[in-house]
Structure 1
Amino acid sequence: MDRADSAVDSEDVRRVVALAIDALRCADPQGWDAKAGTLEWTCWETLEHLADDLFTYAARYGLDKPPVSTTLPFRTSSDRSGGPANVIFVERASGPEGLLTVLEACGGLLASVLSTAPSTTVAYHVFGPTGPEGFAAMAVVETLVHTHDVTQGLNLQWSPPRELCERVLKKLFHHVVIDFDAWETLLWATGRTALPHRPRLTEWRWYSPQAT
């Protein structure tokens, strides 16, 4: 596989977060407590979880030597039983605009730290320690699929760039054959849909690349 065909960087993180915010900004302000797609979380909780992912990814690179066998010892909590356990929560009184502002801030923070981190730096993730490019790809996947979840719950359209979907598939899902639309294939690879001749997955994972 040509590395250039699967390269993902901090600008891709900025881009996908901006696209997600554009897609979500026109949502019905009263719709955010609906379930997010096939998840058990609400749309609000799912976007908080996404912001939390981006923030905690970024925090790893605030250290000269990030841990490679455990996450940082943040205290996490849930707003309700069954809700996501987060570090980041958004003040409900700020409404959807506040939620989108926090998402943009966390995405910008991650993009900024990834753009300055040495490519050889490795940090922990449950799917395997990886470097800045791996975390950029993981952040893009998280943003793509969780925006899908939320737009399903909010009855909005979400159709991300196919070339970006193909790059993160090649970077993190090298075991997946891309013989169908890249976006639909990514949704299948993350357990969200079935494809012709491929039943929906009940378990899935990506494979984080080591730093270069």
Structure 2
Amino acid sequence: MPFRWESTTPGGPANTIRADPAHGPAGLLRVIDACGGLLAAVVRVTPPDVRAHHTFGRADAAGFAAMGIVETLVHTDDLAQGLGLEWTPPEGLVARALDRLFPDVPRDLAPAWPTLRWATGRTSLPGLPDRANGWRWDGRPAGERG
């Protein structure tokens, strides 16, 4: 597996998994697949009462699964846009991720995909403030939110 584990910027995190660029696009896809499998395996075996650290706050396994989904969707979109490709993820998947991680986001102004792109600071939506420099998700279960 073409993993690389090191800080690539002064003061940057050393605990970030990266794909080794020497292995090209095929290596990147192998790393993405392996990381998705690792996340799925951990989510599958983690008891529902367990919470773990995330920079945006403690979350349960389902919260981490939703984070993985959002990261996969928005970064796939970043790649598609960079390559000039049209790409839209399944609406139901996006809606579930929005419901789980962005309970404060209005859901009646646009379909789920543009709303998720707005919620993660990637686009604007009419009548809503720009979130490019200030978005966060909430990985806590709904019953634990204040």
Counterpart pick for 1:133 among 62, 83, 105:
62
Structure 1, gaps ≥5 residues long:
1-50, 53-74
Of 130, 133, 139, 1:200 maps to 130
Does 1:182 pair with 2:112? yes
Mapped to 1, the partners of 2:119 and 2:18 lie a distance apart of 28
Q: Tell me, what secondary structure is at the counterpart of 1:196?
A: coil
The verdict on how the C-alpha distance between 1:84 and 1:96 changes in structure 2, with shifts beyond 3 A counting, is: farther
Change (3 A) 1:184 1:84: farther
Give how far 1:85 is off. Answer: 6.3
Residue 136 to residue 95, structure 1, CA distance change in 2 (3 Å): same
Structure 2 stretches lacking a partner, 5+ long: none
The structure-2 alpha-carbon separation of the partners of 1:87 and 1:207, relative to structure 1 and needing over 3 Å to count, comes to closer
Q: 2 CA distance for matches of 1:165 and 1:153?
A: 21
TM, length-normalised to structure 2: 0.83
Return the TM-score normalized by structure 1. 0.59
Do the aligned partners of residues 211 and 174 (structure 1) sit closer, same or farther apart at CA in structure 2, a change above 3 Å counting?
closer
Give deviations 1:150-170, integer Å, cap 9, x for gaps.
211122222001111111111
1:50-93 superposed Cα distances (whole Å, 9 cap, x missing partner)? x99xxxxxxxxxxxxxxxxxxxxxx7401x67x98663232323
**Secondary structure of 1:124's aligned partner:** coil
Provide, for residues 134-165 of structure 1, a one-character-per-residue CA deviation record: whole Å limited to 9, x for no partner: 10011111111111112111222220011111
* Worse overlay, 179-188 or 199-208: 199-208
Q: Distance in 2 between matches of 1:162 and 1:181?
A: 8
Specify the alignment match of 1:146 in structure 2. Answer: 75
**Map of 1:44 onto structure 2:** none
Q: Whose RCO is larger (CA < 8 A, sep 6+)? A: 1
Cα distance change on mapping 1:115 and 1:211 into 2, 3 Å: farther
- 1:206 aligned partner, one-letter code: W
